[in-house]
Structure 1
Amino acid sequence: PDLEVDWLAQDPVTRLLEASGERIHPLSARLASESRHIELESGEHDLNAFQAIRRMDEVLIANFMTFQDVVDEGGYDLIIADEAWDIDHYWHEHPELKKAKLAWFTDFVGWVPMPANGEHEAFLTTDYNAEMIEHVERHPGVRDRAIFVGSPEDIVPLSFGKDLPAMRDWVPKHFDFAGYIIGEHPSTFGIRAELRHRLGYRPDERVCIVTVGGSGVGTHLIKRILQSYPTVRARLPELRMILVAGPRIDPASLNAPAGAELRAFVPNLDQHLAACDLAVVQGGLTTCMELTAAGTPFLYFPLQNHFEQNFHVAHRLDRYGAGRRMEFATSTPDMIADAMIGALRTPTRFQPVEAGGAARAARMLADLL
């Protein structure tokens, strides 16, 4: 009951936190923008996530120093680090800087080379994985709890690289499994028809939501989908398309055709994803799992060269039998239109997503307090 939580976060996450009434630490304003770096690294629906992180040392060290100032001055009992690579790396490099217990969260473990990028990238990812393994095994006390957001079956059946262990052998020895953690499980949203009514959707319309996350990387995907909209609308006049561009894409820059609706930000987007008839998204895990839990048909377009979306996320979605994977580079507007109509006409048979992951993780955190 006496728990106090401060968030050290940056835009666009802070917008969601503010909308939820959460307390944001004032030094959040000092954080260098990771979203801006990612946008500068991206191409046309293309982001080499591994190389982008390799090249963001300046951002990571600056943000780590801000974090360390917060910890040194704040007297915190517990740090919850959600894939905060900077904290994990530098505290393993300098364990003497650790001033509070650390709970490390991630939904994937292991850098994976993209096959098209050759032996050099394979060498580099192996080196990064070897360093991570050495950190954890040399300083096991840095992470007071390492929590994998998922189950052992969600670990990709790959190795960490040449002469390194298999991921499915190493990860269970060093992580606890919370199961998937979803903000609010769609089972709590009530009857779908009533949810649609509360959100303002008519019974006689088919609703398609397009969302591309919080950065500006999804601009090219949105434009391609907008090109497909007239074709889909001609074949399905009852279709209503709503595009959630995110806070870093100017809706006015998209030249949307008549009838397509544009939003910059939707606070309760998970409810809209549960209520809609179809979604078209990038390959990010959170949105895809919200759709999977809701049983909503969806198309997903992993970013080219994004190892997490192409390996870790795709493996998990395959396990749930969820979503139809699309390749942006080869998908014409007509092909996207055909896929959208096909998804609307095909019943989903996704495996259920458990609802107890958040409570299980909370119990793990409570043990540290």
Structure 2
Amino acid sequence: MAAMGNRHTWVRAQRRPRRALFLSSPIGLGHARRDVAIAQELRALHPDLQIDWLAQHPVTRVLADAGEPVHPASALLANESAHIEDESADHDLHAFRAIRRMDEILVNNFMVFNDVVDETYYDLVIGDEAWDVDYFLHENPELKRFAFAWLTDFVGWLPMPSGGDAEAALTADYNAEMLEQRARYRRLRDRSIFVGNPDDIVDESFGPGLPGIREWTTAHFDFAGYITGFVPPTDEERARTRARLGYGPDDVLCVVTVGGSGVGRALLGRVMDAVPLARRLLPALRFLVVTGPRIDPASLPRRQGVRVRGFVPDLYRALAACDVAIVQGGLTTCMELAAARRPFLFVPLENHFEQNFHVRHRLENYGAGRGIPYSEASDPDALAAALVAEVSRDVSYRRVETDGAARAAAMLAELI
């Protein structure tokens, strides 16, 4: 019996550490923030878990600040953010068409991924909107040799009205292909997690003759609730953040940010044009303009009452400390403001179906923010007036969950 016990002790000592590979979409820094929060919760459940990240800029910037290990093969990934920026003009990004023209990038990045999982065994692969991996694994299911979890905060390609009948037919075709893949290979995803709740899903159809998006998603996904990765600060914490940023209690602080890509450069320019007019209407206004990691702060004009910063690691703290904000229509930034119960204007990118349909629906569901079209934001007088009006608005948003990362991690922990 002693020999048997020693043998079992030796086997346990020789057991390899468990490993996970995390793939975080670079199209919007919000994926990185929530994925880091999930990873931290996952390690709390599995302290011996080693997590590698296959990621590209600007996600790698967030991971570096969080002390997360980036796989060396990440350097071989083709940059998706650069492609998205190339597809944009002014404040216009036709997201569906941009994705359709990414085939070469997606093939390259899937091949990099496949080499990585060939060289190293991973117990779990987590793909946060890693479209290439999800699509090509469904097309080549024999390549799956790990548990695979899929995360997303929207489901369903939707046509923009400007695209007419042709775009409606194309988006329906893309949706039908996805539905067919999932019907054929239900086993391929070991978990499908929606970052949100069933009523956050648009009440639309995938296309003619196809099921409703909310109905289908509710039947095929688990729901983590929204994932902010932080607990809304107290008034005392907000005051400390404002002081650290250099703003006093009498300053009316407006934070302006356009996400992690260079697509929002045009909106920053429009805000700068409106700053003098807004400060005439409300002299106490002060602006903190955050350009993000892909826009040079020096490229913006100087304005009195404006501080310009590049990448801010804990931007959610500044957003929570502001009196008002102007942002692009990205989900993460808008939901961070909703969680902090701050008034804000959001300006969706024109022809960006996710921001104009999926994100707008979710914000309406929370009663959060005021959406304005880019044409209004392009008029300095109109933007200044809208901003000053928003400062004084009382907010009564629906409360945003604070346990989403823990709920998602608990679902993932079952796969390890």
Task: Report TM bin, short chain.
Answer: over 0.9
TM-score in terms of structure 1 length: 0.98
CA shift, 1:108, in A, is 0.4
CA shift, 1:173, in A, is 1.2
Aligned mate of 2:409, from 355, 362, 368: 362
Aligned equivalent of 2:397? 350
Change (3 A) 1:32 1:316: same
Give the stretch that moved more between structures: 257-266 or 91-100. 257-266
Q: Is 2:70 the partner of 1:24?
A: yes
Aligned mate of 1:125, from 148, 171, 176: 171
Aligned equivalent of 1:205? 251
Aligned mate of 1:151, from 194, 197, 206: 197
Q: Output the CA distance in 1 between the equivalents of 2:391 and 2:376.
A: 21
Matched residue type, 1:364: M
Aligned mate of 2:294, from 248, 270, 279: 248
CA shift, 1:262, in A, is 0.8
Q: Output the CA distance in 1 between the equivalents of 2:276 and 2:234.
A: 35
Q: Output the CA distance in 2 between the equivalents of 1:156 and 1:34.
A: 26
Q: Is 2:340 the partner of 1:294?
A: yes
TM-score in terms of structure 2 length: 0.87
Aligned equivalent of 2:218? 172
Q: Output the CA distance in 2 between the equivalents of 1:319 and 1:169.
A: 17
What secondary structure, in the 3-state scheme, does the structure 1 residue paired with 2:151 have? strand
Aligned equivalent of 1:336? 383
Give the stretch that moved more between structures: 191-200 or 149-158. 191-200
Q: Output the CA distance in 2 between the equivalents of 1:138 and 1:197.
A: 56
Q: Are the counterparts in 1 of residues 285 and 305 from structure 2 also a CA contact under 8 Å?
A: no
Runs of 5+ unmatched residues, structure 2: 1-46
Matched residue type, 1:131: E
Q: Is 2:44 the partner of 1:2?
A: no
Q: Are the counterparts in 1 of residues 56 and 75 from structure 2 also a CA contact under 8 Å?
A: yes
1:213-247 deviation digits (Å, cap 9, x = unpaired): 11111010000000000011122222110111111
Q: Is 2:147 the partner of 1:104?
A: no
Aligned mate of 1:316, from 357, 362, 365: 362
CA shift, 1:115, in A, is 1.3
Residue identity (%)? 59
What secondary structure, in the 3-state scheme, does the structure 1 residue paired with 2:117 have? helix
Higher Cα radius of gyration? 2
1:185-234 deviation digits (Å, cap 9, x = unpaired): 21479643344334443111111110001111101000000000001112
What secondary structure, in the 3-state scheme, does the structure 1 residue paired with 2:337 have? helix
RMSD: 1.2
Give the stretch that moved more between structures: 90-99 or 177-186. 177-186
Change (3 A) 1:165 1:228: same
CA shift, 1:252, in A, is 1.6
Aligned equivalent of 1:264? 310
Q: Are the counterparts in 2 of residues 209 and 244 from structure 1 also a CA contact under 8 Å?
A: yes
The aligned runs of 1:53-92 (5 Å cut-off) are 53-92=99-138
Q: Are the counterparts in 2 of residues 189 and 195 from structure 1 also a CA contact under 8 Å?
A: no
Q: Are the counterparts in 1 of residues 233 and 320 from structure 2 also a CA contact under 8 Å?
A: no
Aligned equivalent of 1:220? 266
Aligned equivalent of 1:12? 58
What secondary structure, in the 3-state scheme, does the structure 2 residue paired with 1:6 have? strand
Q: Output the CA distance in 1 between the equivalents of 2:311 and 2:241.
A: 19
Aligned equivalent of 2:21? none
Q: Output the CA distance in 2 between the equivalents of 1:126 and 1:162.
A: 7
1:251-282 deviation digits (Å, cap 9, x = unpaired): 22222323321111111100110011111000
What secondary structure, in the 3-state scheme, does the structure 2 residue paired with 1:143 have? coil
Q: Output the CA distance in 2 between the equivalents of 1:190 and 1:70.
A: 46
What secondary structure, in the 3-state scheme, does the structure 1 residue paired with 2:317 have? helix
Runs of 5+ unmatched residues, structure 1: none
Q: Are the counterparts in 2 of residues 157 and 168 from structure 1 also a CA contact under 8 Å?
A: yes
Q: Output the CA distance in 2 between the equivalents of 1:135 and 1:185.
A: 38
CA shift, 1:71, in A, is 1.0
Matched residue type, 1:147: I
Matched residue type, 2:138: H
Q: Output the CA distance in 1 between the equivalents of 2:369 and 2:376.
A: 18
Q: Output the CA distance in 1 between the equivalents of 2:373 and 2:363.
A: 15
Change (3 A) 1:339 1:118: same
Q: Are the counterparts in 1 of residues 341 and 397 from structure 2 also a CA contact under 8 Å?
A: yes
In the comparison of the two structures, how many residue pairs are matched?
369
Change (3 A) 1:188 1:22: farther
CA shift, 1:35, in A, is 0.6
Q: Is 2:357 the partner of 1:281?
A: no
Aligned mate of 1:231, from 269, 277, 284: 277
